[in-house]
Amino acid sequence: MRYEDRADAGRHLARRLQHLRGTDAVVLGLPPGGIPVAYEVARSLGVPMDVLVVRKLGVPWQPELGFGAIGEEGLRVINEDVLRESGLSPVEQEDVERSERAELERRVRRYRADRPPLPLAGRTAVVVDDGLATGAPAEAACRVARARGAGEVVLAVPIGAETTVPRLRETADQVFCLQVLRHLGSVGAWYRDFSQTNDTEVAALLADAGHPGSSPDSPRRPERPSTVDEVEVPAGPVRLAARLVVPATAQAVVAFAHGSGSSRHSPRNQHVAAVLNRTGLGTLLLDLLTEDEERDRHNVFDIILLARRLQAVAQWLRRETALPVGYFGASTGAGAALEAAAGDDIRAIVSRGGRPDLARPAALAHVRAPTLLIVGGLDTRVLGLNRLAADWMHCEHRVAVVPGVTHLFTEPGALDTVAELACEWFTARLARPDAAARPIRSA
């Protein structure tokens, strides 16, 4: 069975946990994806909900593969099998853990604000996530709950891997997993909508769960609509056709730089942009060349021209939205995005099947924006070019390889993986706690 979304999974999970209704249980959601699931469980059971922050320790060249996890209270869990197979060195492990520890502390501050964690001493802690793959984050969360004095630790998830669930029964007193699968694949494959949950949504759900008197029948707060505009962006002597979408709670906006032979109508980039919008990020899908310019193939590969256009676009976005700006580049657009980011205030960059090697080595060396390079595992030539470009970069960067995927990411679930990776990268590096959405002025 595939769930519609995380809220749907939470409602299914709550039916399995009705024996906890009216008890002294506390539901602990693992952010970001476990929070919408936990919210539905807590509402149904009529018990309080809190956040329990853990961070997966991902293999640098394959971040979706976790070699362990860290949690609050300084807890650290390592998956020795993954660590052995990856060949990760101690120095590489320390670099990943240092980065994730800083992100964990940021999220604790963001989610909890000034609220202290709910007391767990002697109570039943119900740890909830959206699924179990390696299980390292869930194991870390259970251990944190135990360290905080929980009388009983219950782990509850909608879906999990057959090889993982039995192992977690050694950590939790009880494990409730609605679907235990021999061939899990990715957790996201079992959801029709597995879009990334951003910090704003996490904070809103936690605040709402803390309201006294909330119940399963309480009305949901209506979502404010997004601002959607067909605009023309001035860039030197031309105006570039674009589609700007800014969710009401947007804390940043991402400009898409398309590849050769593509446009703002690219279904692949539209798919990723829609997922970013659902997580609360603004997007600008645009054409960097006019129709007349596209007829000259030299322009399509003129990285300097495309980069200058992108810089003009970034300036326009900052002026019109007052939000931080990131870039998402595909194919040649990735080279243009990195060239444009050198010396500019770009907060984060994601490339899908990109050609970052088309940017000048000097530009790559001057990029300061954290950069994620996503490449299909079967796209061996482009993978080599991405790793070559990464060697020139001195900023935070990562090459994420999606196994079994070719250059255009046409394989089932491939674009969902791209969107998930992009959402995680952007929300962690673009979101500003003090950023507030502002009205969009007409172009």
- pLDDT tens for residues 147-186? 888 999 999 999 988 888 898 998 899 999 999 888 777 7
CA–CA separation, 350 and 2 (whole Å): 29
Residue 97: count of CB within 10 angstroms of its CB: 19
* H helix or E strand, kind and range, residue 313: helix 303-321
Please answer whether residues 339 and 347 qualify as being in contact, where contact means their C-beta atoms are separated by less than 8 angstroms: no
In the block, tokens 């936990």 appear at 38
The β-bridge relationship of strands 174-181 and 152-161 is: parallel
CA–CA separation, 359 and 288 (whole Å): 16
In DSSP notation, 70-89 reads EEGGG-EEE-HHHHHHHT--
Nearest to 426 by CA among 338, 357, 337, 325: 325
Q: Which CATH number does 6-209 carry?
A: 3.40.50.2020
Listed as own residue / partner, the contacts of 162-168 with beta carbons closer than 8 Å and 24 or more positions apart are: 164/132, 164/133, 164/134, 164/135, 165/132, 165/135, 167/135, 167/139, 168/132, 168/135, 168/138, 168/139, 168/142
CA–CA separation, 249 and 438 (whole Å): 9
Q: Which residues of the chain have pLDDT under 70?
A: 63-66, 73, 113-114, 210-226, 260-262, 431-443
In DSSP notation, 344-364 reads S----EEEES--GGGS-HHHH
CA–CA separation, 343 and 84 (whole Å): 40
Please answer whether residues 147 and 75 qualify as being in contact, where contact means their C-beta atoms are separated by less than 8 angstroms: yes
* Residue pLDDT, tens place only, 388-422: 999 999 999 999 999 999 998 988 888 889 998 99
Please answer whether residues 353 and 328 qualify as being in contact, where contact means their C-beta atoms are separated by less than 8 angstroms: no
CA–CA separation, 37 and 217 (whole Å): 17
Nearest to 363 by CA among 384, 323, 335: 335
Specify the CATH number for 227-430; select among 3.40.50.720, 3.30.9.10, 1.20.1250.20, 3.40.50.1820.
3.40.50.1820
Nearest to 263 by CA among 291, 227, 301, 239: 291
pLDDT of residue 224: 43
Domain parsing of the chain, residue ranges: 6-209, 227-430
pLDDT of residue 114: 67
CA–CA separation, 330 and 260 (whole Å): 9
- Look at the pTM and tell me if it is higher than 0.75: no
Residue 440 CB partners (closer than 8 Å, separation 6+): 227, 229, 244, 246, 320, 321
* H helix or E strand, kind and range, residue 303: helix 303-321
- At position 224, the amino acid (one-letter code) is R
Same fold flag, 6-209 and 227-430: yes
| Dihedral, 98, 102, 104, 108 alpha carbons, nearest 10 | 160
Max Cα distance, the chain (Å): 72
- How many DSSP H helices and E strands does the chain contain? 15, 16
Nearest to 281 by CA among 201, 339, 353, 220: 201
